[in-house]
Amino acid sequence: MLNNNDTEMQIHGIAASPGICVGKAYLVGREGVDVVEKYSVKREKLKEEIKRFKDAVKKAKDELYRIIEQTPKDLSQHAHILETHMVLFKDKMLYGRTIETIENEQVNAEWALKTVASNVKAMFSDMTDSYLRARAADIIHVSDSIMRNLIGAETESIASIGKQVILVATDLSPAETSQIQLEKVMGFITDRGGKASHTAIIARSLEIPAVLGLENATRIIKNDDIIIVDGTSGVVIINPTGQALIQFEERQERYEEHKAVISRESHLPAVTLDGIHLQVMGNIELPEEVVAVMTYGGDGIGLYRTEFQYLSRSDFPSEDELFDKYKDVVDVITPRPVTIRTLDINGDKAASYASDSEAANPVLGLRGIRYCLQKPDVFKTQLRAILRASAFGHIRILLPMISCLEEILETKKILNEVADSLDNEGIDYDRNIEVGIMIEVPSAAILADIMAKNVDFFSIGTNDLIQFSLAVDRVNRQVAHLYQPLHPAVIRMVKHVADVARDSGINVFMCGEMASDPMNLPILLGLGLEKLSMNPQSIPMAKKTIRSLAINETRPFIAEVLKETTTKGVMNLVQNTYGSILSDKIFKEG
Ligand code: PEP
Ligand code: MG
């Protein structure tokens, strides 16, 4: 049995968001579905087991019926899908076979359902007809809802959790993470996920400790177990002893002190020892986070990920809604700049009304600029809102997922049309607004010289650039060790982009998480990157590190870095040359 009762136990995962907390575990209901035990059922108990299954089907059907009844008329398409699910509950393949499996194999209902559902899913997904393949997704939904009722797991939404807890989940989507309410959730841990995932990025923005990629947390931890989450070292302690709790308190105190010391200096400028003034800005997902950027001494917003305003809702936001949000941000951050990135929807940030659930590789699918160019109305609505807000402060426009020149040219055409429409209506906007692109697809990095002639600035998005250039999924725990910002290929690619930008006389920013790790700063400064943007929490430490570096030393250091042939070699070189400066290690090792 995996059940650990009350003995202390430690599990290790990926340190995704710093900070330490202790509290009661709260297993996110839906995820209980994955934890299926198999046990045999005596012949005389089979009838009872089948009844248990039928009861669960009935409860799941009743739940769905209530949801259909409550679905507003304008979402009737959605209701239609749910009605299809109603039929599937009594489908012979799912319902009939599960009962047969319980009887024939004398196993528990959960196991029988899981086996049957996997077979049906496999059968559907092998079909070439896309409509039939899509039915596989419906079967998953239906079997999950029966399973939830069998296991007795609750289906509460994350937004409605009502006590101070630590969430334990198989996975949390970025949309779910963004709904976490800070007064109710102290931290979270998941079985899946990687450090550069949007889930991790949002945890850092929300400043809640998080450990991801724990693999088995949902199997080992039970509801209400006391757990300590150390998001700085990636350790989770289950049922800690008194001794462990005392150590936890000491560590938490040291962490708070460390944070306070760094925060006190956060408003000092990021000037290197040889007098070069760098810009250190913040990345935000929600307008409210602008306050954190200010608190941590950010020089503006280097990346506003606008897609979160499109998630967790049933339809696209209106131009006025978007304008109000952008203006809120501008009003707080002015006179500092804000770089608004146009919609990077889909990929791992899918809105139900705008995504293609059949895409096998959504991250390489119809997302970001590709989506916007196919949906000019959606794009124009956002561009109008951004241009209108530009009349109130310093806004830059940033285009995500650019992979070829045509995407820039097409976007500019649409932007001109939008500007003309505002002109015709006599609405004011910044006529000199800068338009830049994310360099996050390797083809854009390779074509940097061509791109530079057509845009005002680059922003290097290392989160995706690393994922795509090293072919390592940024959310996959199993290959997290291969996700290496200091891989020699990444360094060369960043160098190429920075060199081209300098030669072309355009600005280059870095807004990927690579910029937030002090360990990477000697190299980034040496490559000539002087405008960095990161999660707000990391700003004070980055500024402090920059104040201890001299560019006239980091520049020649790059020649040494380029001689290294492996990530480990680069890391050792940085450690040997700059180890004493990179002081936040204290906490990583603590
Ligand atoms: C990136 O890819 O580096 C980036 C900053 O964008 P996102 O993390 O939103 O994909
Ligand atoms: Mg990206």
Number of residues that this document lists for the chain: 590
> What is the pLDDT confidence band of residue 31, given thresholds at 50, 70 and 90?
very low
Average pLDDT on 70-92 reads 65
Choose the catalytic residue: 258, 372, 487, 511: 511
Distinct helix (H) and strand (E) counts, the chain? 23, 17
Locate the ligand 1 atom nearest the alpha carbon of residue 347 and give its number.
10
Average pLDDT on 273-295 reads 93
Average pLDDT on 272-290 reads 95
Q: What is the amino acid identity at position 91?
A: D
Cα 512 to ligand 1 centre (Å): 6
> What is the pLDDT confidence band of residue 176, given thresholds at 50, 70 and 90?
confident
Query: Does the beta carbon of 347 sit less than 6 angstroms from any atom of ligand 1?
Result: no
Cβ contacts of 184-190, under 8 Å, gap ≥ 24? 185/158, 185/161, 186/21, 186/23, 186/229, 187/19, 187/21, 187/23, 187/229, 187/231, 188/229, 189/13, 189/214, 189/217, 189/227, 189/229, 189/236, 190/214, 190/217
HSE-up of 535 (CA within 13 Å, CB side)? 25
Dig out the tokens for 339 from the structure: 């770089």
pLDDT of 590 > 50? The answer is: no
pLDDT at 136: 66
Distance CA(314)–CA(516), nearest Å, equals 34
pLDDT of 32 > 60? The answer is: no
Average pLDDT on 492-511 reads 98
pLDDT at 171: 84
pLDDT at 423: 97
HEC profile of 135-160: HHHHHHHHHHHHHHHHHCCCCCCHHH
Query: Does the beta carbon of 218 sit less than 6 angstroms from any atom of ligand 1?
Result: no
In angstroms, what is the C-alpha Rg of the chain? Answer: 26
Strand pairing class (226-230; 20-27): antiparallel
Average pLDDT on 129-143 reads 67
Instruction: For residue 511, indicate whether it is catalytic.
Output: yes
Average pLDDT on 56-61 reads 88
Distance CA(499)–CA(528), nearest Å, equals 8
Beta-strand (E) ranges in 294-433?
Answer: 301-305, 337-341, 394-399
Cα 510 to ligand 2 centre (Å): 11
- Indicate the angle between helix axes 376-390 and 319-333, nearest 10 degrees: 30
Element (H, E) at 496: helix 488-504
Q: Residue holding tokens 């931290």?
A: 187
Distance CA(553)–CA(532), nearest Å, equals 19
pLDDT tens digit sequence for 236-268 = 999 999 999 999 889 888 888 888 888 888 999
Question: What's the pTM value of the predicted model, to 2 decimals?
Answer: 0.72
Alpha carbon of 109 to those of 47, 60, 151, 153, 506: distances in Å?
Answer: 11, 15, 10, 15, 63
> What is the pLDDT confidence band of residue 302, given thresholds at 50, 70 and 90?
very high
Cα 464 to ligand 1 centre (Å): 6
pLDDT of 160 > 70? The answer is: no
Average pLDDT on 515-521 reads 96
Average pLDDT on 94-102 reads 91
Distance CA(472)–CA(463), nearest Å, equals 11
Query: Does the beta carbon of 511 sit less than 6 angstroms from any atom of ligand 1?
Result: yes
Q: Whose CA is nearest to atom 6 of ligand 1?
A: 461
pLDDT tens digit sequence for 330-366 = 999 999 999 999 999 887 777 767 776 667 788 999 9
Of 4-13, 359-368, 444-453, the poorest mean pLDDT is in 4-13
Cβ contacts of 357-365, under 8 Å, gap ≥ 24? 357/134, 357/137, 358/130, 358/133, 358/134, 363/467, 363/473
**Secondary structure (3-state) at 550:** coil
The mean predicted confidence, pLDDT, of the chain is 88
Q: What is the amino acid identity at position 362?
A: P
pLDDT of 413 > 70? The answer is: yes
> What is the pLDDT confidence band of residue 517, given thresholds at 50, 70 and 90?
very high
Of 241-255, 392-406, 523-537, the poorest mean pLDDT is in 241-255
pLDDT at 154: 54
pLDDT at 585: 44
pLDDT at 588: 43
